[in-house]
């Protein structure tokens, strides 16, 4: 997800210690060590947690051994994500032998899924807090310090953390996430998110615009609007409108995703706007034409396909067919010809045949996605698939099919990126290239990584780069006037 074209396949994103800027760290305050795993939503949530605890006198530390409180913000999308989180918690518990007052907690989707099991059976943590209970963390810490274990995994129909200003952790000062909604109403049979993050609710658009304005004033040049399904964003000032009534309501006081995109784009023409993730069934022509209308809304859409076979898509409860998805991609390219499109793919879902797998391979070859996150199916406890279907594709077959999908994607990606040769793009510089301090890297509107000679330019600048070379995942070029 989110444009990392060098992400290894089927790999858990490694936990990172997320830190406050040194300027706001008070050496006399209590110390918080926070690691996040999984999707961008988890990383955005960690910024909310840091903000809540900052107000209670906590500063973050990158040295886990000096921490008073350790939180790990977890992911439940795949089993190996949970295994990695458990291993980390075991490491942290070793520290507790020398520091009995150390408080260890697990946050996020894994906390919501396993709830009190962490406290009662595994005894790895003192605090279990779900995604909607972060405001209660100071009280939960207090319970632990008084000698109790603490848990709050209540899901909310209202919580959006709208007025909390996130602490930008490990930020490059150029790009930032803005969470616009929480939860998900799509009951994809393979997905645990509706059970760990609850029902959809959209954040007040005026608080979103205010956050974008504040970021722009601080010098940020790009924001990414985040949600499990951003295209279903829908807000009304009328608190009585919820669920189906809100989705069907019309009027000037209704803000849908297309309108929200415009509101954020109007903050400044110098502030780039991205968004993720889109569900194919919900992205509308209104959104596509809004992208086309504003130069600072990036020509980039993450559009998960999951499978290229209609029967499997139905079994996944994705609510669209192979042909419908193909038509949607064609419509995107009709309205936004140079739009970058990336996707997610699952190999070896329940009962998938070899012929159905080949439908996925062939669709990948046709689509020429700019990038894809590719995994083999991992059954998640509590999901509809776990309850209704047998996970009957052997793991060896899953891995073989995944490898064929990876090969097809890499081959088509090479062909797709060649279309960028000799083109000139506006590139937002994000930092120094990993391979050389004499080169800078940034991204174009389509989210391609672009590398070019450093010259007198610096991170945060916009430059025009003519593409002269490319690899499968990276563009190389020279700055032009």
Note the pLDDT tens digit of each residue in 441-466: 999 999 999 999 999 999 999 999 99
Structure tokens at 89: 């918690």
Q: Please, which residues bridge with residue 429 across strands?
A: 442
Beta strands 462-470 and 340-347 are unpaired
3 state SS of 27: coil
**How far apart, in whole angstroms, are the C-alpha atoms of residue 157 and residue 160?**
9
Structure-block tokens of residue 400: 């073989």
Pairing of strands 127-129, 69-74: unpaired
In whole angstroms, give the CA distance from residue 363 to residue 100.
55
Q: State mean pLDDT over 291-317.
A: 98
For the record, the structure tokens of 147 come out as: 């000698």
What is the pLDDT confidence band of residue 25, given thresholds at 50, 70 and 90? very low
- Tell which residue, 48, 40, 110, has the closest CA to residue 73: 110
Q: What local confidence, expressed as pLDDT, does residue 247 receive?
A: 72
Q: What is the pLDDT of residue 122?
A: 61
Q: What is the pLDDT of residues 69-123, one digit of tens each?
A: 999 988 766 666 777 788 888 889 889 888 889 999 999 888 888 777 777 756 7
Q: Name, of 245-254, 324-333, 430-439, the range with top average pLDDT.
A: 324-333
What is the Cα–Cα distance from 310 to 470, expressed in whole angstroms?
35
* Residue 270 scores a pLDDT above 70: yes
Does the pLDDT at position 227 exceed 60? yes
In order, the DSSP letters of 290-314 are HHHH-TTB-SEEE---B-S-HHHHH
Rounded percentage of the chain residues whose pLDDT exceeds 70: 90
At 38, list the tokens: 């999984």
**Predicted confidence (pLDDT) at residue 195 exceeds the cutoff of 70:** yes
Among 264, 286, 151, which residue's Cα sits nearest to residue 215? 264
Q: Which CATH architecture does the domain made up of 16-152 adopt?
A: 3-Layer(aba) Sandwich (3.40)
pLDDT tens, 128-177? 999 999 999 999 999 999 988 899 888 888 888 888 888 887 678 999 99
Closest to 99 measured CA to CA, from 123, 72, 64, 128: 64
Q: Cβ(109)–Cβ(197) under 8 Å?
A: yes
User: Could you tell me the residue ranges of all domains in the chain?
Assistant: 16-152, 424-480
For residue 60, how many other CB atoms are within 10 A of its CB?
26
Per the CB < 8 A criterion, the answer to whether 342 and 314 are in contact is no
pLDDT value at residue 244: 64
For 218, residues 6+ apart whose C-beta sits below 8 A from its C-beta are 173
Tokens 């012929």: give the residue: 355
- CATH topology match: 16-152 vs 424-480: no
In the CATH scheme, what is the homologous superfamily, with its name and number, of domain 424-480? Answer: Nucleic acid-binding proteins (2.40.50.140)
Q: How far is CA 473 from the centre of its chain?
A: 20
- What average pLDDT does the segment 20-30 reach? 45
Give the chain's mean pLDDT: 89
Average pLDDT over residues 423-430: 97
- pLDDT score, position 28: 53
Reply yes or no on whether the pLDDT at 23 is more than 50.
no
Per the listing, tokens 């110390």 go with 31
Mean pLDDT of 174-182: 94
Structure confidence at residue 170 (pLDDT): 64
Write down the pLDDT at residue 42. Answer: 83
Cis preceding linkage at 432, omega within 30:
no
The continuous run of DSSP H or E covering 221 comes out as none
Answer yes or no: are the C-beta atoms of 345 and 352 closer than 8 Å: no
* Mean of pLDDT values over 196-212: 93
Which tens digit of pLDDT belongs to each residue from 354-395?
999 999 999 999 999 999 999 999 998 889 999 999 999 999
CB atoms within 10 A of CB 353: 12
């Amino acid at each position: 997800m989110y444009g990392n074209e060098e992400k290894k396949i089927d790999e858990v994103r490694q936990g990172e210690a997320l830190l406050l800027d040194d300027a706001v760290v008070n050496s006399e305050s209590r110390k918080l060590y926070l690691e996040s795993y999984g999707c961008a939503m988890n990383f955005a949530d960690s910024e909310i947690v840091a903000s809540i605890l900052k107000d209670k006198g906590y500063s973050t530390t990158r040295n886990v051994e000096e921490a008073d409180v350790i939180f790990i913000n977890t992911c439940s999308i795949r089993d190996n994500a949970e295994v990695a989180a458990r291993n980390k918690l075991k490491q942290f518990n070793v520290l507790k032998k020398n520091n009995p007052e150390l408080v260890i907690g697990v946050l996020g989707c894994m906390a919501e899924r396993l709830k009190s099991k962490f406290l009662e059976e595994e005894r790895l943590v003192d605090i279990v807090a779900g995604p909607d209970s972060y405001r209660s963390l100071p009280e939960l810490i207090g319970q632990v310090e008084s000698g109790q274990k603490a848990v709050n995994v209540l899901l909310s129909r209202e919580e959006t953390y709208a007025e909390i200003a996130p602490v930008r952790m490990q930020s490059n000062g150029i790009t930032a996430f803005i969470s616009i909604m929480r939860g998900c109403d799509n009951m994809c049979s393979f997905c645990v998110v509706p059970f760990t993050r609850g029902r959809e609710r959209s954040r007040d658009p005026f608080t979103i615009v205010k956050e974008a304005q504040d970021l722009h004033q601080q010098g940020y040049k790009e924001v990414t609007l985040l949600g499990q399904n951003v295209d279903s964003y829908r807000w009304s000032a009328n608190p009585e409108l919820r669920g189906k009534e809100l989705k069907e309501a019309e009027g000037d006081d209704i803000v849908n995703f297309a309108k929200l995109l415009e509101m954020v784009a109007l903050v400044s023409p110098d502030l780039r706007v991205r968004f993720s993730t889109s569900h194919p069934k919900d992205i509308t022509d209104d959104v596509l034409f809004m992208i086309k209308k504003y130069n600072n809304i990036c020509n980039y859409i993450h559009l998960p396909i999951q499978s290229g076979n209609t029967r499997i898509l139905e079994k996944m409860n994705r609510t669209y067919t192979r042909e419908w998805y193909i038509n949607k991609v064609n419509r995107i390219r009709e309205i936004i010809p140079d739009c970058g499109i990336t996707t997610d793919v699952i190999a070896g879902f329940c009962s998938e045949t070899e012929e159905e797998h080949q439908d996925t391979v062939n669709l990948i070859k046709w689509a020429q996605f700019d990038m894809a996150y590719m995994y083999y199916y991992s059954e998640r406890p509590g999901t509809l698939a776990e309850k209704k279907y047998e996970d009957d594709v052997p793991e060896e077959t899953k891995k073989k099919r995944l490898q064929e999908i990876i090969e097809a994607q890499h081959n088509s990606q090479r062909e797709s990126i060649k279309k960028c040769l000799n083109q000139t793009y506006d590139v937002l510089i994000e930092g120094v290239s990993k391979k050389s301090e004499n080169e800078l890297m940034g991204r174009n509107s389509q989210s391609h990584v672009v590398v070019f000679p450093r010259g007198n330019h610096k991170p945060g600048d916009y430059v025009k780069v003519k593409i002269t070379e490319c690899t499968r995942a990276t563009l190389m070029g020279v700055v032009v006037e």
